[in-house]
Structure 1
Amino acid sequence: MSGNNINRIFLARLAGTAVFDPNGDPVGKVRDAVATLRSNNQSPRILGLVVEVPLRRRVFVPITRVTSIESGGVVITGLLNMRRFETRAGEMLVLGDLLDRTITLLENNEDVLVEDMGMEQNRTGDWLITRVHIMRKGRGLRRKGATSTVAWEEVTGFAQHESNQGVSNLLSTLSNLRAADLAAVIQDLAPKRRVEVARALDDERLADVLEEMDESERVALLAELEGERAADVLEEMDPDDAADLLREIGEERAQELIGLMDPEDAEDVLRLMTYEDYSAGGMMTTEPIVMSADYTVADALAAVRQSEISPALASQVFIARQPLETPTGRFIGMVHYQRLLREPPSTLLGSIVDTNTQGVNPDASLHAVSSYLASYNLLSLPVIDANDRLLGAVTVDDVLDHLLPENWRHDHRDSAATTAALESIDTNFAENFTEEV
């Protein structure tokens, strides 16, 4: 790989680019680059790339292993270390730490914002950050200033601590990530950047991310949000996840946030918090799809089609008498998604309801719930009270969350079992890369 073949690479644009092994088989995607600052304002040296491989593990690939960077792909060779990436002393994430910084143009002491950074390969083969794409401050409300690309030597201020760094350009590189993937990225950021990113996300997006984070880290992140903002985010979370999080943050803080929540949302969460964590009531969501018998197949299909409905909840519609908000009227049964696909749109749900699944009571144990789901090949299970009212539904993902060890999201990225899973994904991948543990 030579500088003649590859000129200047802008790293924010490189984020999300596919990474391939020498055989052309996909390995993962670029998520960031690791650099080290040098004295006397010299161009920082790029040490390597942070690559996300299957199961959301982020690993470090030395820049010396990169053989080509072209439009649409990065090719790497040599040994691939499967240890989860962590920054070391003196290292910085180019996108995670340096984007959105306010720095100073030396020629006129003007404060400007970093939008991107360009790296180039010098004659000795080292990759250096030689260019900084900047935006000047605009005039007037919400007006963006002019942008330009300047040499690294023309700016200063990267080594200084910034108490309130922006995140707009960083978020633009992460905008297409699923919530679980974004949670993994955020957990690898420095605590200060983690909080800045969380505060910049909208309530719904942050709620989705918190649901996917490790227990200790989401508690710490929620603690950094002001009361009103924290309550708004809790309202956007699934009630069962919100109840779990409130159990984790301590009774005093939980009561404070419940008092700030919308009364209707708070009622659902409080109801769930009365149940034991590992019981059906403690695991259930209070927002399954509930309809009465006189709804049609077309109505049901429209409901399960909504993007915010999880696949497990979309697998069936629960039929009950009015009221249809949980706790409902008397529970009648379920209509499975596959049955909906086989019936004419005008068919009434009451004529195709499955009344064989009676559900479990809210005090049912984790073992009882998991056994029921496995025995009847269900993705979700109704939770019924003593008066045959539908209280909610336990989904298979809720059960898995409770069956797996605490902080399993963090552990599964670091475990030897994960590495074995990675190696089994692609035979060619396993043949070309050797794990170093």
Structure 2
Amino acid sequence: MERAVYLAQLLRRPLVGGDGEVVGRLADVIVRLRGRDYPLVTGLVARVAGREVFLPAEQVADLGAEKITLASPRVDLRHFERREGEVLLRADVLGHRVIDVADAELVRAYDIELRQRPDGWVLTCLDTRRPPRFWGVLAGHAARPDWRDWKSFEPLIGHARSARVRGPFARLGRLKPADLADLLEDANRTESHEILQTVHADPELEADVFEELEPDSQTRLLRERSDTEIAQVIARMRADDAADAINDLPQSRRRPVLDALPAGQRTKVLTLMGFNPSSAGGLMALDVLTMAASSTVAEALRAAGEARTLQPEALTSVYLVGEERRLLGVVTLVELLQADPAARLEDVADRDPVRAGPDTDVEDVALLMTDYNLLTVAVADDEDRVLGVITVDDVLDMVIPQEWRRREPAPHPAHRVAEPGPGDVPHDTPPGS
């Protein structure tokens, strides 16, 4: 049966040579991350004669709760220096927060389980339940650890050279942009920098995450970047979100960021910045799928399928336009899918579509969408020329009260178990049993 030990018990335990002589005491345990496999213990950091030194795993005969037995009492007394890819369990993980990938939240690691396997000692579980405080112990409240599989977490080590060995996404690749944004808003400065370093490997994902951030968090994280770096993120954001992000920057930084944007995005952003941010004009997306009224249903469906640059939320409807983009009608994609492919759009469309003016207040837009059960509403000028389209998610983002966003989230369901990898042993029994 596999034997388990716990880091909190091991720390400061004596290191004993084969002759029983105490050589030093344990200061830390070193592991190397191995992708989907459990991290392997590669050595120990020992405190010997007032200095920290390295002991390779091969020199450790046994890890015991009372003492650590060495195969040889000979110790290299050169000062320990961390090598690339090494993770120190006490310094980097124990007492630090890690990302619970299944629940998309930051939790703290209060203890670490190590198990002896044929290939050596490996890190298998974390205890994420806070132990009882002093008065709780006096009251008889026993500590009930919450041991969870290591593969359920992504560590935030705060060590750049170690972070590189985890790959560009690691377990964070499973999270949605909104989940990553929530993590960033809860993270401290060091944690947020490491999360962003991982997200930065995918520029499109990075832009999506910044779109999901609350304005104060978005501004705080953007202000730490250069004008060119801000422009690189904003260039990939939706134009309406990009305009809001630039408006929230300090006045002195807006023009340099705008100048660094690609011409097309800069034109869109400047157009939207000319409207009140809480008006229909400030909320709208400028890219709209429009077709001539004489087009067929089949042509409209094909155009929708090829409109990969438009945000998906704006593709619920096709707008019919005439000369100078004057609004003539609207037809939803569901109606198109149910119509004769050879039919003309003017024969299946609503020829009196709901529309909003660019100066319409967002509350009035919300009422329009509610009254007419709309997912999108066109924005048109006084001459009925289509300027853009507003999506329901943008309206909700504006009208939901700020205090609602700060409510405690609903309780998470039971923890999901990570998929075991080759050779893994499921943790369906208490550790050490």
Which TM class, normalised by the smaller chain length? 0.5 to 0.7
Give me the whole-angstrom Cα distance separating, in 1, the residues matched to 2:230 and 2:269.
Answer: 14
Q: How far off is 1:51 after superposition?
A: 1.6
Q: Which residue of the other structure, out of 174, 177, 180, is the alignment partner of 1:179? A: 177
Could you tell me which of 387, 399, 403 is aligned with 1:403?
399
Establish whether residue 345 from structure 1 lines up as the match of residue 345 from structure 2.
no
Question: Does the 8 Å contact 1:98/1:114 carry over to 2?
Answer: no
Flag the 1:307–1:11 CA change in 2: closer, same or farther, 3 A.
farther
Q: What is the alpha-carbon distance in structure 2 between the residues aligned to residue 383 and residue 339 of structure 1?
A: 21
Does the aligned pair in 1 maintain the 2:278–2:361 contact within 8 Å?
Answer: yes
Report the alpha carbon displacement of residue 290 of structure 1 after superposing the two structures with TM: 2.0
Aligned twin of 1:221: 221
> Are residues 1:422 and 2:411 paired?
yes
Displacement of 1:406 in angstroms is 4.4
1:332 aligns with 2:328: yes
Q: Is the 8 A contact 1:243 1:270 kept in 2?
A: yes
Q: Which shows bigger deviation, 343-352 or 382-391?
A: 343-352
State how far apart, in whole Å, the 2-side matches of 1:244 and 1:183 are.
17
Q: Distance in 2 between matches of 1:313 and 1:245?
A: 20
Aligned residues: 317
Q: Note if 1:264 corresponds to 2:242.
A: no
Structure 1: distance between partners of 2:109 and 2:171 = 19
Q: Is the radius of gyration larger for structure 1 or structure 2? A: 2
The superposition leaves residues 352-409 of structure 1 with CA deviations (integer Å, 9 ceiling, x where unpaired) of 1112323111111122111111111111111111010111111111011111244976
- Residues 172 and 78 of structure 1, relative CA distance in 2, 3 Å threshold: closer
User: 2:147: which partner in 1?
Assistant: none
Report the secondary structure of 2:299's partner residue: helix
Q: Report what 2:89 is aligned to.
A: 44
Instruction: State the match for 1:388 in structure 2.
Output: 384
Contact kept in structure 2, 1:230 and 1:257, CA below 8 Å: yes
SS in 2 for 1:319: strand
1:38–1:356: structure 2 CA closer, same or farther, 3 Å change rule? farther
User: Aligned letter for 1:282?
Assistant: G
Q: Kindly, what percent of the aligned residue pairs are identical?
A: 27
Q: State the alpha-carbon separation in 2 of the partners of residues 210 and 401 from structure 1.
A: 14
Change (3 A) 1:313 1:77: same
Cα distance in 2 for partners of 1:41, 1:351 equals 81
Which residue matches 1:230? Answer: 230
Question: What is the rounded CA distance, in whole Å, between the counterparts of 1:337 and 1:303 in structure 2?
Answer: 11
SS of equivalent to 1:236: coil
* Comparing 171-180 and 282-291, the one that deviates more: 171-180
For the structure 1 residues 321 and 308, does the alpha-carbon distance in structure 2 shift closer, same or farther, using more than 3 Å as the test? same
**Secondary structure, counterpart of 1:312 in structure 2:** helix
- Kindly indicate whether the alpha-carbon contact (under 8 Å) linking 1:280 and 1:366 is maintained by their aligned counterparts in 2: yes
- How do residues 10-409 of structure 1 correspond to structure 2 at under 5 angstroms? 13=35, 40=52, 44-45=89-90, 46-47=93-94, 50-52=99-101, 54=103, 56-60=104-108, 62-63=110-111, 95-98=155-158, 100-101=160-161, 115=165, 169-187=167-185, 188=187, 190-191=189-190, 193-194=193-194, 197=197, 200-305=200-305, 309-322=310-323, 329-406=325-402
List runs of 5+ in structure 1 lacking aligned partners.
18-36, 68-73, 82-92, 103-112, 117-168, 324-328, 429-437
Decide whether the 8 Å contact of 1:96 with 1:193 is kept in 2. no
The two structures have a TM-score, normalised by structure 2, of 0.61
Distance 1:41 1:277 in 2: 59
Distance 1:375 1:98, change over 3 A: same
For structure 2, list consecutive stretches of 5 or more residues without a partner in the other structure. 7-29, 39-44, 55-87, 116-123, 132-152, 417-433
Question: Highest relative contact order (Cα 8 Å, sep 6+), 1 or 2?
Answer: 1
- C-alpha deviation, 1:234, in angstroms: 1.9
> Once superposed, which parts of structure 1, at least 4 consecutive aligned residues long, lie more than 6 Å away?
64-67, 74-81
Q: Which amino acid aligns with 1:335?
A: V
Question: In 2, are the aligned partners of 1:186 and 1:194 still within 8 Å (CA)?
Answer: no
